[in-house]
Amino acid sequence: MITRTLRQIAEMIGADLPREAYRNTIVRGVSIDTRSVQDGNLFVPIIGDRFNGHSFVREALAGGAAAVLWDRKQLDPPQDIPLVLVDDTVDALQSLAKAYRQQLAVKVIGITGSNGKTSTKDMLAAVLSVKYKTMKTPGNLNNHLGVPLTLLRLEEDTEMAVVEMGMSGLGEIYRLASLAKPDAAIITNVSEVHLGDLKTRERIVQAKLEILCGLRKNGLFIYNGDNPRLTDRLDELTVEFETVSFGSGRGQQLYPVEYRLEDKGVRFSINDPDCPPMFIPLLGRHQVINALSVIAAARHFGLTYEQIRQGFLQVEATGMRNELVQAGRCLIINDAYKSNPTSLRAALDTLYSLNPDKRKIAVLGDMVELGEESDRMHREIGEQLDGERLNALYTLGTSAAHIAQAARKNMEESRITSCMDKEQLAELLKEELHEDCIMLIKGSRGWQLEEVVETLRKEASGYGG
């Protein structure tokens, strides 16, 4: 993590250090949350819609913080503590991260995309760690605060940093890429996510391509060639970097020639005859496509195919993404972190592909951020459900109710349950735990469906399941 004196911190962000007595105060790491502040941290108070971090400065210092950034527009800055005056604490946090990144010899790989960026991050970090000291975005810290915090967590001797970049509007990834200055950039795919904010698919592509604005000259751009809207835009760009396309078809530079879905992951081969068969301990055919981008990046940075194979075997996935949870006789696929049409179709394909002799149950919550097309997209999911491979459907929420309504074309009414209450849903699902079944639980973040997963797990443990 960043370790600098307060004078150096002030110089890095072009800020004022009011009291010379504190110029040699040592700062180790950065925190924006008093609940996670550690000894020696620089505390950065964030001003939100319903809170002002400046109110918690004393609490942060009591928790071990060594110094504080202070927005000069806030009245009565404390005179008895080490602080640096700044015009805006978020801007200062980002400026500090940008300056620190420029001082490091680390190679940065930036990853964005509508789906698959977290799984890709996890796979790539595991693979690169076979050869290099590697760090990655922790959890889901991929926004305007998470990316600078990720950069500031890097150790001075970190060799590779895998940085996930999310967004909700135009300009956000541009800003994040300008901080991280990636040596390689990956766009996993582009889909309907964020239609509610960006209105059109063309603007979503534009937003994702902002990652190229920070890509270093002569860097590497790895992109999903299965997305025509993305590839059409690339044809319009003048590029000063190497490109590698990946995808499901033979038109891409990297593509799978065969794959086999197993209970604990996927085994696959690619179009390079020098590459041995690979296994990734993640569920779903879509993870093979994500793995292709990992292979491209790893090869660019000098890893052998054998090192890549070893790295895939030690992937530790971020939670709530195709996470397997055993509850009684029921195997739950906990995919509760988020949901959109593309990722939901992939999750359903995964569910269908698993043990055909077991009962299959889909528990689907609302998909959000789909704008005016939301109802139609939910109905399309319902119409496309495979009634022959799905034994029961539960939906949660007003939007997901459209899935249930449309599913009646392919499934009997008795196999479909539509709920508006999460507690009611959990009670109904408890009855399924006695069955030898596989249950997919997936919905948008607002529903926090991992709570249903935990309820079912505790219920099963209570009766010795």
Per the CB < 8 A criterion, the answer to whether 67 and 22 are in contact is yes
52 is in an annotated binding site: no
DSSP readout, 276-294?
PPEEESS-STHHHHHHHHH
3 is in an annotated binding site: no
Other Cβ atoms within 10 Å of 240 Cβ, number: 11
133 beta partners: none
Per the CB < 8 A criterion, the answer to whether 451 and 320 are in contact is no
What's the one-letter identity of residue 373? E
115 is in an annotated binding site: yes
119 is in an annotated binding site: yes
What's the one-letter identity of residue 41? N
Q: Is 56 left (phi over 0), alpha (psi -120 to 50) or beta?
A: alpha
Per the CB < 8 A criterion, the answer to whether 97 and 161 are in contact is no
Look at residues 417, 340, 400 and name the one whose alpha carbon lies nearest to residue 166.
340
> From start to end of 113-178, where are the E strands?
134-136, 160-164
Reduced to 3 states, what is the DSSP secondary structure of residue 208? helix
Please state, in angstroms and rounded to a whole number, the distance separating the CA atoms of residues 42 and 81.
12
116 is in an annotated binding site: yes
Find the DSSP H helices in 140-184.
Answer: 146-153, 172-180
395 is in an annotated binding site: no
Per the CB < 8 A criterion, the answer to whether 191 and 341 are in contact is yes
31 is in an annotated binding site: no
What's the one-letter identity of residue 65? A
Please state, in angstroms and rounded to a whole number, the distance separating the CA atoms of residues 120 and 282.
11
Number of residues in the chain: 465
Q: Are strands 437-442 and 359-365 parallel, antiparallel or unpaired?
A: parallel
Instruction: For Cα atoms 227, 362, 432, give the angle at the middle one, nearest 5 degrees.
Output: 160
Task: Give the residue numbers of the binding site.
Answer: 113-119
Task: Give the residue numbers of the binding site for ATP.
Answer: 113-119
